[in-house]
Structure formats: C-alpha cells, structure tokens
Structure 1
Amino acid sequence: MVKQEKPKKIKLDIPSMIEILNKNFGFKKVEDPFGCPAIQMSSRDAF
C-alpha cells in the first residue's frame, strides 16, 4: 500500500492575494483609507 502525502498548505499574504485577484479576475487595485493595498469590487461580485 502506497502512503499518500497530505497536500502542503500554502499561506498567501494580502498583497499576493490582491495581485492574484487583479491579474486573474480583473478586480481593480486601490488603496484603502489607511494607505494599504485593497481591491475594489461591486456588491454583486462580493457575493
């Protein structure tokens, strides 16, 4: 019997996730009121 390895968990930081959403899904990159990177989306996209 072959022992299967568990999939490795990948931890992404917020800027990496924002970059993925921007490049792959077309969300607009903006800054929040505190100067941190954020994404802009419609309420329809959020749900």
Structure 2
Amino acid sequence: MIRPILLMGDPRLFERSRPVERLGTGELLALLGDLHETMVDAKGAGLAAPQ
C-alpha cells in the first residue's frame, strides 16, 4: 500500500513514534513493505520516519 509522504511542517512529524517491541511480526513486515512501495512510487532514494 502506498502511503502519503508527510512534508516539513506537518504536525504529525512532531509526534513520538511507537517503539518496535518485536522484530519480524506481520505488522512490522507489512509496514516495511508499504514504506518500500511508497519510496519506489515516489522515485525516492530513502524515507525517514519521525524519531
């Protein structure tokens, strides 16, 4: 699923991200797939998440 890319100034970029509690879960793998698909669609070289 292609996700929207947030731009500088979007208040969601100031929100604290949830910690990753376990690696390899279906939820995390789906998120990584979405981020990769979004990056490729935007012809980008990488994406950064809020810290």
Give TM-score scaled by structure 1 length.
Answer: 0.34
Structure with bigger RCO (C-alpha 8 Å, 6+ apart):
2
Give TM-score scaled by structure 2 length.
Answer: 0.32
Mark the structure with the bigger radius of gyration.
1
Richer in strand (by share): 1
Richer in helix (by share): 2
